[in-house]
Amino acid sequence: MTDFVYKPICEVIEQSPEHVLLRLKIPENLFYFQGHFALAPILPGVAQLDWVMHYLTKYLNVDCQKAISVDALKFQIIVKPNYEVDLLLKQIKNTKFSFSYSSEHGQHASGKVVLNDE
């Protein structure tokens, strides 16, 4: 039986109070590859969004419980097992943060997380 993991191996490349650049190594035993798809596994978009929220909280101290929308969400290129992808998280204003996943394969996904301003 394979032991599955739920998060990639994460390395901080750059960090400031307004942004963080992470290098994520996507292991082939990632739980999210199960059944998505058997012959050609790809990382689901919902997992990518979960990681955005997790890393916004961890590195930029964002209260993602206040998220009210994800705007301009685009998934361009699929992420496969053993890819290394860079995740850039940037604060645009107090209630808006952008994210983008990219690698040597190109731009994988991008969007903006919008928080309630109350």
- Decide: 10 and 23 in contact? Cβ < 8 Å: yes
Reported as a single tens digit per residue, the pLDDT across 67-76 is 999 999 999 9
DSSP state letters, 92-115 = EETTEEEEEEEETTEEEEEEEEEE
Rounded Cα–Cα distance for residues 37 and 55 (Å) = 26
Reported as a single tens digit per residue, the pLDDT across 9-57 is 999 999 999 999 999 999 999 999 987 787 889 999 999 999 999 999 9
